[in-house]
Structure 1
Amino acid sequence: MKLIQLTDIHLTTPGQTIGGRDSNANFDRALAHALDHHPDAEAVIITGDLSDWGEKADYEHLSQRIAALPLPVYLCIGNHDDRPAFLSVFPELADEDGHVQRVVPLSAGDAFLIDTWGPDSHAGHYDAQRLAWLDKRLAAATRPVYLFMHHNPAPTHIAPMDRIMLLDADAFGDVVAAHRDKVAHIFHGHCHLPLAGSFRGIPTSSPRGTNHAGWANFAESKLLSASDLPESYAVIFADEGSVTVQMVEFGYTGDVRVEGSPDYADWDRQTMAR
């Protein structure tokens, strides 16, 4: 199974930029790059911050853009989003409780798309109602589960970022840990950083994002840090024995060089590029 994960696309009013970057154009570039290089992907999953200011026009633009794509696109919402505005454009994506949550069958398992949005907050939230939804569906799952969400459940150890992580991580962790044998991987966004680790024994990962980039400034205690690193998305490969996640920096404009052969017999000082 091959999936494309885009995150933190931050669509905004045409002509406006974020960190000097055109997020709408970068979203289009990410889609074009992914479809050109990975036409065999079975789906695109976008893990939140679909809009920069949670405006209905951004969701209308997103709806029109993904409708024209040759493969399905599945959506999570993040802290920059507005759930009521989002659902006014995508009403079919509400669960029975009004959250943006669903289970999507994939070739190698099921994608669980969960809703960590909370009003008037950049932090993530996952209340008792949502926990019950997740617990019920994990209990019923008979195939590997690939869990997609916006907010990071594990700390980054960057103080200002961890103030806006998933605040209900302990309760969320109790639910996923109870079904740890079923959950193959947790994919998130939010941090604008390439991250890999684990949460309650479950592997986690996140790419940088399709527009503005963060920076791991461990000395900063109050403000989030930004950088000019390239825009990116993730390519996910999964089968019954493994999950591999590659961060593709489609915003990189430098050279890609041939350095030599992977065959050991061909390694010598004359032929290896150094």
Structure 2
Amino acid sequence: MKLIQLTDIHLTTPGQTIGGRDPNANFEAALTHALSQHPDTEAIVITGDLSDWGDRADYERLRARIATLPVPVHLAIGNHDDRAIFLQVFPELADADGHVQSRFPLSRGTGLVIDTWGPRSHAGFFCAKRCAWLEQALTVADAPVFLFMHHNPVPTYIAPLDHIMLRDSDTFGAVIATHRQHIAHIFFGHCHLPLSGSLYGVPVSGSRGTNHAGWADFTERHMLLGSDLPQAYAVIVANGATVTVQMVEFGYRGERRIEGSPDYDAWNRTTMVR
């Protein structure tokens, strides 16, 4: 089973840029690259910050674009989004309590999207109603479960990022701990960095976004930092007992070169490029 995770696409008014990059063009480039390299993917999940300013026009363009794709697309919202405006365009994605949460079948298990959005905050939240929805969804879901969210549920140990991580991480973690035997992986965005770890033994990972990139500076105490690292998305392959997550830097524009054959007998000082 193969899935594509895009994150932090930050769609904007056409012509506007972020960090000198065009989020709309980069979203298109990510889709083109992912679907050409991975035509066997069975779904795309976009883990939040769909719009940079929560504008209705961004969501309308997103809806029109994903309707043309050959695979289903599942959406989470992030801190740059506006839940009320998003649900005006995607009303079918609201759960019974008005959160953007959904469950979808996969050829191997179940995908779950949860809502970590909160008003007037870049941090993530997970209230009692969202907790109850996740508890019930995990109880009935066919295992293995692949869980998608925007905010990181584990610390990065980079102070400004941890200030805006999932604040109700203990509440969220208690649900994960109860159902950890059925959860294969948790995927998030938000940090604009490649990250991996675990939560109560469940693997977690985050990918760089499709437009602007972050920078990990463990000495910075106050400001979020950006960089010119390449745009990226994640490829997820679940096969039997394994789950592999690879960050693909589709925005890389530098040289690619052959370094040699993987055949050990072909390794020598003459043929290996150094």
Offset at residue 266 of structure 1 (A): 1.2
Q: Which residue of 2 aligns with 1:217?
A: 217
Offset at residue 141 of structure 1 (A): 2.3
Which blocks of at least 5 consecutive residues in structure 1 are unaligned? none
TM-score (structure 1 length as normaliser): 0.99
Mapped contact 1:108–1:240 kept (Cα < 8 A): no
Offset at residue 109 of structure 1 (A): 1.0
Q: How does 1:219-258 map to 2 (within 5 A)?
A: 219-258=219-258
CA distance in 1, matches of 2:142, 2:2: 20
Q: Which residue of 2 aligns with 1:94?
A: 94
Mapped contact 2:7–2:233 kept (Cα < 8 A): yes
CA distance in 2, matches of 1:125, 1:50: 18
CA distance in 2, matches of 1:206, 1:82: 22
Q: Which residue of 2 aligns with 1:204?
A: 204
Structure 2 residue 47 is matched with structure 1 residue 47: yes
Secondary structure at the residue paired with 1:4?
strand
Deviates more, 1:173-182 or 1:236-245: 236-245
| 1:189-216 residue CA offsets vs partner (Å, 9 max, x unmatched) | 0000011111111101111100000000
Mapped contact 1:79–1:122 kept (Cα < 8 A): yes
Which amino acid in the other structure matches residue 125 of structure 2?
A: H
Q: How does 1:164-179 map to 2 (within 5 A)?
A: 164-179=164-179
Mapped contact 2:232–2:250 kept (Cα < 8 A): yes
Q: Which residue of 1 aligns with 2:113?
A: 113
Secondary structure at the residue paired with 2:203?
strand
| 1:109-153 residue CA offsets vs partner (Å, 9 max, x unmatched) | 101100000111100000000001101111222320000000000
Offset at residue 239 of structure 1 (A): 2.3
Structure 2 residue 260 is matched with structure 1 residue 260: yes
Q: How does 1:16-35 map to 2 (within 5 A)?
A: 16-35=16-35
Secondary structure at the residue paired with 2:115?
coil
Secondary structure at the residue paired with 2:193?
coil
Structure 2 residue 135 is matched with structure 1 residue 135: yes
CA distance in 2, matches of 1:34, 1:52: 22
Offset at residue 261 of structure 1 (A): 1.1
CA distance in 2, matches of 1:11, 1:141: 32
Secondary structure at the residue paired with 1:179?
helix
Secondary structure at the residue paired with 1:256?
coil
Which amino acid in the other structure matches residue 49 of structure 1?
A: D
CA distance in 1, matches of 2:83, 2:189: 17
Give the fraction of aligned pairs with identical amino acids, expressed as a percent. 68
Equivalent residues, number: 274
Q: Which residue of 1 aligns with 2:185?
A: 185
TM-score (structure 2 length as normaliser): 0.99
**Divergent runs of 4+, >3 A:** none
Q: Which residue of 1 aligns with 2:273?
A: 273
Q: CA RMSD in A?
A: 0.7
